[in-house]
Structure 1
Amino acid sequence: MTDQGDPLARIADALERLSPAPGPETDWRLSPGYVWSNGEVRPVETIIALPLDRLKGIERQKQVVVENVARHARGAAAHDMLLWGARGMGKSALLRSAVAAIQHDTSERLALVQLDVASLTQLPTLFDAIGGIDRRFLLYLDDLAFDRSDEAALRNLRSALEGSLCPRPDNVRLAVTSNHRAILARDSSDQADPLQERDRMDDSLALADRFGLRLGFHPCDKDTYLAIVAAHADPAGLAFDADEALEWSRARGPLSGRSAWQYVVEIAGRAGKSV
């Protein structure tokens, strides 16, 4: 114990009591998923994901993504992935479902790590933490877009994918979802400066080209939309009216898998059921 007669000692003791105790060290071998933010990690004990057969209208994308994630889990060569396109068409849902399906058979071999744009500047720290772990990791960035304030994060992502003297470890692959194929969002000043706009487009293409696997997701048609509604409603024993389902989505924007799910939540609530 420090000398309580010493004012500095009393201050030190008070600060020590106020300081939170350090949390337990993360075990990167145990949890199916993790959230990495601001240099801190939080284990996720359960990845909430739909069964793959519930994802309709994206059959080709589903086959390609599942195969690529399975390769990575086995330790075989696999691509970094860019899933781009229409909102609500299952980009993020497919990544989670693919990982969950593969973990069902090989739980110890693959973990999903979600991070945000701000955390990209700390990718080297994350790579140091997981690079030596005997496990495969899929880093997941959802709904990614960059603006002018994100140049440092953009450089870190581009270097992690390709071109850095300290690239990402062999047991790590990246999966990005974005509404924009080019990932970078334009701003009004770009429209006024053709040279600046061209430079930014070159940057965006240089980033997108670093993903070995690029898959587009497009708005669904009426039949596909209704098939998605049925895929969610049938397992819950919910009957639905096709015209009402279509009107529900059209009142909210283009037909999409997200609006199909939201409609099923609505009719389940009316019926007093959970989904």
Structure 2
Amino acid sequence: MTDETLTRIAEALERLRPPPASPPDWRAAEAFVWHADPDRLDPVPRVNRVELDLLHGIGRARDTLLQNTRQFAAGLPANNALLWGARGMGKSSLVKAVHGTVAREVPGLALVEMQREDLPSIGRLLTLLRAAPVRVILFCDDLSFSHDDQHYKSLKAVLDGGVEGRPENVVFYATSNRRHLMPRDMIENERSTAISPSEATEEKVSLSDRFGLWLGFHPCTQDEYLAMVRGYCDAYGLEIAEAALRAEAIEWQATRGSRSGRVAWQFFTDLAGRHGVRI
């Protein structure tokens, strides 16, 4: 194959390559969603969030993440954060609520959400964000990896250890039901079958170590669950006798077999609809 032929092939491949993503109008919205193939940031006209003071039972995590975000928005050092633990306890709601609170205090703080499936494109996204005139919370909800999933390798160098590293104007927040982002049986299997068990699991477990903040979320008590429901009623002006509210809320969580912030909101949604209250 001649040099001329190789040049023509290279030029053809270059023409097929999608053009770099153009920067969005950062003034168009306070939040954006990243899509790959083709690369683009779509503005979100209205963020689906609840107010920070409606999140009960997670006071320590709330205060820690709020302080970290305020430091970041002010241009001070801040850590990447992993919010892990019980499902439905407000991990993603907290990220969105904290962003909304701090964005009102310090203009110029954007929220960019990316899907786990798009992690291989995170390098291209960070190149785009590095030149942004705003500070960005990069958010990935429900981050976890299966046995044969190699997407975590795309994330490791970005969090810590890459030559370029994380841009100064970007912080990474992720939520997961798993503390180490990997199934426990996957980690145990690696340990039991590898020649060097510690080395076999080091690469996978070390991903969560690259988050400076680990914020744990645990199942709520009945009192916390009822406080969540009462908080929603007060916030939206739904009037109901305390005894009736308590009985209905407990019956609802009993039929679901669990208590969480998500169950509390689902009950309140049903209650509001029956009482003709818009939310």
Shared fold (TM-score greater than 0.5)?
Answer: yes
Q: Which residue of 1 aligns with 2:115?
A: 116
Q: CA deviation at 1:252?
A: 1.4
Tell whether 2:179 aligns with 1:175.
Answer: no
AA aligned to 1:96 is: K
1:51-200 matches, cutoff 5 A: 51-107=51-107, 109-151=108-150, 153-186=151-184, 191=189, 194-196=192-194
Distance 2:213 2:22 in 1: 37
Q: Which residue of 1 aligns with 2:50?
A: 50
Q: Which residue of 2 aligns with 1:257?
A: 261
1:199-238 matches, cutoff 5 A: 201-236=201-236, 237-238=238-239
Q: CA deviation at 1:188?
A: 7.1
Q: Structure 1-normalised TM-score?
A: 0.84
SS of corresponding position for 1:34:
strand
Give yes or no for contact 2:52–2:98 (8 Å, CA) kept in 1.
yes
Q: Structure 1 vs Structure 2: percent identity of aligned residues?
A: 35
SS of corresponding position for 1:214:
strand
| CA 1:212–1:193: 2 relative to 1, 3 Å | closer
Tell whether 2:24 aligns with 1:26.
Answer: yes
Give yes or no for contact 1:84–1:179 (8 Å, CA) kept in 2.
yes
Number of matched residues?
Answer: 251
Distance 2:117 2:136 in 1: 19
Q: Which residue of 2 aligns with 1:247?
A: 251
CA RMSD of aligned residues (A): 2.2
AA aligned to 1:273 is: V
Unaligned runs of 5+ in 1: 1-22
Distance 1:134 1:58 in 2: 33
Give yes or no for contact 1:182–1:201 (8 Å, CA) kept in 2.
no
Per-residue CA distance 1:159-179 (angstroms, 9 max, x = gap): 110111121211111000000
Task: Out of 88-97 and 119-128, give the one that drifted further.
Answer: 119-128
Q: CA deviation at 1:268?
A: 0.9
Distance 1:263 1:78 in 2: 36
